[in-house]
């Protein structure tokens, strides 16, 4: 059975039975998953990668040998990944206060063991929806930065004065170029930035 959406759920838990049960549960809701038996194994997979490039979330056990789930979460926060890769902690009763504090630090949620299958998958789907929104926004900003990098130095100068609201004549005077040259550069800026007006351009640049 193919996943219902193009998304991944990462499972990090040292208990093989838990990993298998979660993978089966996710498959039953047509969600793809990848399982890891330790925080170190997960980090080795993602280290250096700019994840995620598609919606994803992480089901993370709090207590594990070696690096704990809490330490892994802190590493994700340091890399700014906890928004595009929402973390749902899997906790025992004794770990609930700790999990609550991690939610305040930016974790998406926590589920206490034994958890309700339907409730957990519902939260996974909500986490994936958040991830999709964040990933799409990040990709849009990256495309915008790419378009900006294609502007020449002169085009950047003209663009700055355009978004300040100066008319072509004043831009020409400030840059000591002809009005016709300003018009040409302005048109190229609009074309490269894929906008049709100075207002649209100014609004777009607020997203950088």
- The whole-angstrom separation of Cα 184 and Cα 29 is 55
Model confidence pLDDT, tens digit, residues 145-179: 999 999 999 999 999 999 999 999 999 999 999 99
Quick one: pLDDT band at residue 3, thresholds 50, 70, 90? very low
- Could you tell me the residue ranges of all domains in the chain? 8-141, 150-205
| pLDDT the model gives residue 4 | 43
Which of the four CATH numbers 3.30.300.160, 3.20.20.70, 2.60.120.10, 1.10.10.10 does domain 150-205 have?
Answer: 1.10.10.10
What are all long-range contacts of 201-204, with beta carbons under 8 Å and residues at least 24 apart?
A: 201/159, 201/162, 201/163, 202/163, 204/144
| pLDDT the model gives residue 2 | 38
Quick one: pLDDT band at residue 98, thresholds 50, 70, 90? confident
Model confidence pLDDT, tens digit, residues 53-92: 889 999 999 989 999 999 999 999 988 888 899 999 998 8
**What Å distances lie between residue 55 and 7, 13, 30, 36, 136, CA to CA?**
5, 21, 14, 18, 9
* E strand segments, the chain: 8-12, 32-36, 56-61, 87-91, 109-112
Higher pLDDT, 97 or 144: 144
CATH number for the domain whose boundaries are 8-141: 3.40.50.2300
Total residues found in the chain within this entry: 208
């Amino acid at each position: 059975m193919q996943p219902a959406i193009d998304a991944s759920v990462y499972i990090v838990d040292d208990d093989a039975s838990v990993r298998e049960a979660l993978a089966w549960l996710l498959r039953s809701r047509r969600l793809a998953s990848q399982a890891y038996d330790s925080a170190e194994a997960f980090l080795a997979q993602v280290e250096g990668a700019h994840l995620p490039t598609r919606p994803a979330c992480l089901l993370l056990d709090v207590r594990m040998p070696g690096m704990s789930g809490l330490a892994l979460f802190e590493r994700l926060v340091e890399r700014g990944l906890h928004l595009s890769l929402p973390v749902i902690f899997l906790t025992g009763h004794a770990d609930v206060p700790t999990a609550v504090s991690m939610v305040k630090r930016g974790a998406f949620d926590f589920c206490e063991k034994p958890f309700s299958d339907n409730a957990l998958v519902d939260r996974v789907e909500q986490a994936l929806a958040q991830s999709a929104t964040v990933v799409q926004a990040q990709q849009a900003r990256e495309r915008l930065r790419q378009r900006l990098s294609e502007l020449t130095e002169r085009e950047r100068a003209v663009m700055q004065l355009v978004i300040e609201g100066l008319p072509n004549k004043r831009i020409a005077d400030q840059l000591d170029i002809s009005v016709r040259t300003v018009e040409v550069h302005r048109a190229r800026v609009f074309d490269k930035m894929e906008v049709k007006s100075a207002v649209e351009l100014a609004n777009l640049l607020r997203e950088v």
